[in-house]
Each structure stands twice: as structure tokens, then as C-alpha cells.
């Protein structure tokens, strides 16, 4: 049963990979603008990055987890002179990111199975990526994020506001989402040693997500 569940989770992540390979350009233009059908406002990203930048020193090392095509988040981070590594499961997204944000470094990999040296990053950023990862994998990933961070490092991430999971057509391709409610995420972060400093509801259409800043303790 455990192996079957593991295989199902891997299949869900692969569906996300294939989905973003197919819709990369429909999802984001080269300037980082979002397709109106997604109800996502990318003009908010600059303010979120500025919130983080006020906490970090010059040339801080930042991991953009689920960086997509690198716009707008990775680009905004590099414009603030951070040393950024972007990671994404989609080969098409990474290919575009390398062209659009040449100042950053990028790797194509599944964040769930990816490994990195402990204490490598001053901050980890993840906007609208964790919510595409099966819930058990998200929970297992949080201790890894804690391990990748330097002492007192930060995690700034979009997570769920309410519990929901499903596979739906997204800009012409099947896409998978899975997220817990806000309070569950706050509890998981705390249990992992990532102390939530603040959280905000981010409205989108008739629903929304949660933006949370946590610090490694």
C-alpha cells in the first residue's frame, strides 16, 4: 500500500511536469504576466520579494523552489542582487528561465526527490509551486527545506487557505493541485522548526491562498 501510494504521488508530480511543459507560454509571457484565466496577479510579487529583501543581507543565497520560467519571481530576486538558484520540474520552464533570467542558475528536478547541501541558503521562496505537490510529499519536504536553510534563514511561500485537491483542465492541459488549510500548514511549519512570523490571505477570484513567512529555528 505504501509503495502504491508513493507511485501515485510520483504520477501526480509527473502530471504537473507534463502540464507545465505543455502550457508554459500560455501560463506566463516572457515579461512574467499571468494568463487572465488563472486569476493570479503577478504584480503582487514585487512587494512579496521586497518584504523578504528587507530581512536579507547583500548577495544572500536564495532558492526559488518551483521557479517556473523564472519570471517574475526569480528575476525580481536577481534584480535585488541575490544569488539565486531556481529549481523546477518542467524542462520547458527551465529552458525558458535560462534565457529570460541569465543572472540566475537553474536546475531541472523534482523538488520532492532533489537533494542539496545542508545550510546552503539564506532563504527559500516558493510561489504557487508547493500546492502542485501531493500533500504527503509537501509535509515530507518541509524538514528538507529546514535543512537547506542556514540558521535563522527564511521560507516565504504560497500555501493553501482551505483544504482542496483535484485534477482539472488548466489552460488546455490536465493539472493537479493538493493543499491543506492554513492552520494545518502553520502547525506543520512549527513542528518542522520553521516558526511562522506572519501570514496573509491572498485573494484570487472567488477563493485564494495563504502567503506565509517562516524562520528556521
DSSP sequence for 52-118: HHTTS-TT-EEEEET-TTSTTHHHHHHHTT-EEEEEES-HHHHHHHHHH-TTSEEEE--TTT----T
| pTM of structure | 0.96
pLDDT value for 93: 98
Q: How far is CA 8 from CA 2, 29, 192, in A?
A: 10, 31, 25
Tell me 43's DSSP state. Answer: G
Q: Is residue 76 over pLDDT 50? A: yes
Report, as an integer, the average pLDDT of 120-129.
Answer: 98
The mean pLDDT value of the chain amounts to 96
Report, as an integer, the average pLDDT of 197-217.
Answer: 96
Per the CB < 8 A criterion, the answer to whether 67 and 73 are in contact is yes
Q: In terms of Cα–Cα distance, which of 162, 163, 68, 40 is closest to 76?
A: 68
pLDDT value for 119: 98
pLDDT value for 3: 65
Report the distance separating Cα 157 and Cα 27, nearest Å.
19
The domains of the chain are located at 2-216
Q: Is residue 1 over pLDDT 50? A: no
pLDDT value for 43: 92
pLDDT class of 96 with cuts at 50, 70, 90? very high
Report, as an integer, the average pLDDT of 10-19.
Answer: 98
Per the CB < 8 A criterion, the answer to whether 97 and 88 are in contact is yes
Q: How far is CA 183 from the centre of its chain?
A: 19
The reply to whether omega before 72 is within 30° of 0 (cis) is yes
Q: Is residue 71 over pLDDT 90? A: yes
2-216 placed in CATH 3.90.1150.10: no
Amino acid at each position: 500500500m505504501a509503495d502504491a501510494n508513493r507511485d501515485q504521488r510520483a504520477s501526480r508530480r509527473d502530471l504537473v511536469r507534463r502540464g507545465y511543459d505543455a502550457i508554459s507560454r500560455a501560463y506566463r509571457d516572457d515579461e512574467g504576466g499571468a494568463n487572465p484565466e488563472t486569476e493570479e496577479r503577478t504584480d503582487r510579487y514585487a512587494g512579496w520579494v521586497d518584504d523578504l529583501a528587507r530581512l536579507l543581507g547583500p548577495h544572500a543565497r536564495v532558492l526559488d523552489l518551483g521557479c517556473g520560467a523564472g519570471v517574475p519571481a526569480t528575476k525580481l530576486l536577481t534584480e535585488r542582487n541575490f544569488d539565486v538558484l531556481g529549481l523546477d520540474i518542467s524542462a520547458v520552464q527551465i529552458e525558458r528561465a535560462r534565457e529570460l533570467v541569465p543572472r540566475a542558475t537553474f536546475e531541472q528536478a523534482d523538488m520532492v526527490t532533489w537533494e542539496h547541501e545542508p545550510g546552503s541558503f539564506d532563504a527559500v521562496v516558493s510561489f504557487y509551486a508547493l500546492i502542485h505537490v501531493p500533500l504527503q510529499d509537501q509535509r515530507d519536504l518541509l524538514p528538507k527545506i529546514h535543512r537547506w536553510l542556514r540558521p535563522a534563514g527564511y521560507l516565504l511561500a504560497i500555501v493553501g487557505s482551505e483544504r482542496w485537491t483535484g485534477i482539472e483542465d488548466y489552460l488546455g492541459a490536465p493539472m493537479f493541485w493538493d493543499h491543506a488549510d492554513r492552520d494545518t500548514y502553520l502547525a506543520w511549519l512549527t513542528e518542522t522548526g520553521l516558526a511562522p512570523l506572519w501570514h496573509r490571505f491572498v485573494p484570487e477570484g472567488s477563493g485564494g491562498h495563504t502567503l506565509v513567512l517562516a524562520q528556521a529555528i
